[in-house]
A and B are shown apart, each in its own frame.
Chain A
Amino acid sequence: MSILNKKIINSKSGFTITEILIAIGILGLLTILIATIFLTQNQYFNEQQIRLLLESYINSAFVSMKNLIIESNAILSSYNIEGDNYLSGAETLVLKIPSIDTNKKVIFGQFDYGVIFKSGTDLKIILSPGSQSFRTAQNRIIAQEVASFNINYNGVEPYLAKTVIISMTLTKTTPNGKNVTITRSIQVTLRNQ
Chain B
Amino acid sequence: MNLISDIQYSISKNGYIAILALFIIGIISFLGVFLTSHTINQAELQNREIISAKALELSEAGLQKAINELNRNPLYSGEENFSFGGGTISISITNIDAQNKYVESAGTISEGKFNITRKVGAKVKTSTDNVSFFYGAQVGQGGLIMSNNSIVSGSVYSNGSVLGSAGAQVTGDLWVAGAGNLTIQAQNTEYANGLNVGAIPFGQKIGQEFYASATERLAKVSFYIKKRGSPPNATVTIRNSHPSGWPIGTIIAQGTLQSNLVGTDYSWVDVTFDNNPLLIQGTGYWLTLEMPFTSQSRYYTIGFSGNLYDEGIALIYFPPEWVEGDLDFNFKVHSGLSGQTKIDNVIIGGDAHAPLILNSTISGGAYYQTIQNSTAGSYHPNSPDPPLQNFPISAGQIQDWISEAQSGGVIEGDYSPTTSISLGPKKINGNFTFTNNKTLIITGTIYVTGNINFSNNVTILLDSSYGNNSGIIIADGKINLSNGVIVRKINDTGYVMLISQYNQLNDEAIEIGNNISGGIYFAPYGKLKVNNNANITEVSAYQINLANNVAISYEIGLANINFSSGAGASWQIEKGSWSILE
Contacts and interface: CB of A to CB of B under 8 A. Distances in A.
Contacts of A34: 20-21, 24
B24 A59 contact: no
A78 to B, nearest CB: 17
Contacts of A17: 4
A106 B579 contact: yes
Contacts of B582: 104
Contacts of A8: 8, 12
Contact of B42 (A55, A191, A192): A55
A48 B35 contact: yes
A20 interface: yes
Contacts of B17: 27, 30
Contact of B578 (A15, A20, A59, A106): A106
Interface stretch (B182-190, B289-297, B300-308, B363-371): B289-297
Contacts of B35: 45, 48-49
B39 A52 contact: yes
A100 interface: yes
Interface string B189-230: 000000000001100000000000000000000000000000
B7 interface: yes
A34 B45 CA distance: 35
Interface in B496-529: none
Contact of B297 (A15, A52, A108, A162): A162
Nearest to B582: A104
Contact of A73 (B5, B293, B575): B575
Interface in A137-193: 154-156, 160, 162, 191-193
Contacts of A73: 575-576
B201 A105 contact: no
Contacts of B295: 160
B166 interface: no
Interface centre among B576, B577, B578 (most CB of A within 10 A): B576
Contact of A106 (B12, B27, B297, B577): B577
Interface in A81-116: 98, 100, 103-106, 108
Interface string B544-582: 000000000000000000000000000000011111111
Nearest to B53: A66
Nearest to A63: B49
A15 B102 CA distance: 93
A106 B577 CA distance: 6
A56 B4 CA distance: 57
A122 interface: no
B75 interface: no
Q: Is the interface of A mostly helix, strand, loop or mixed?
A: helix
A37 B28 CA distance: 9
Interface string A1-38: 00001001100001101001001100100110010011
A59 B46 contact: yes
Given A34-B20, A48-B35, A156-B200, A106 B5 contact: no
B411 interface: no
Contacts of B426: none
B289 to A, nearest CB: 20
B231 interface: no
Interface of B is mostly: helix
Of the listed residues A15, A23, A106, the one surrounded by the most CB atoms of chain B closer than 10 A to its CB is A106
Contacts, number: 98
A192 B577 contact: yes
Contacts of A100: 579
B380 interface: no
A42 interface: yes
Interface in B396-453: none
Given A34-B21, A56-B42, A63-B49, A14 B4 contact: yes
A156 B38 CA distance: 42
Interface in B26-56: 27-28, 31-32, 34-35, 38-39, 42, 45-46, 49
Contact of A49 (B38, B45, B578): B38
Nearest to B293: A160
Contact of B12 (A5, A42, A104, A162): A5
Nearest to B577: A106
Nearest to B29: A41
A104 B580 contact: yes
A114 B582 CA distance: 20
A107 B24 CA distance: 62
Contacts of A59: 45-46, 49
Given A49-B35, A160-B293, A20 B7 contact: yes
A14 B12 contact: no
A56 B28 contact: no
Contacts of A15: 4, 7-8, 11
B267 to A, nearest CB: 28
Interface of A: 5, 8-9, 14-15, 17, 20, 23-24, 27, 30-31, 34, 37-38, 41-42, 45, 48-49, 52, 55-56, 59, 63, 67, 70-71, 73, 98, 100, 103-106, 108, 154-156, 160, 162, 191-193
Given A104-B581, A160-B295, A162-B297, 7 more contacts: A8-B12, A27-B17, A45-B35, A73-B575, A98-B579, A106-B576, A108-B576
10 contacts: A5-B12, A9-B12, A37-B24, A37-B28, A52-B38, A71-B580, A103-B581, A108-B576, A156-B294, A162-B297
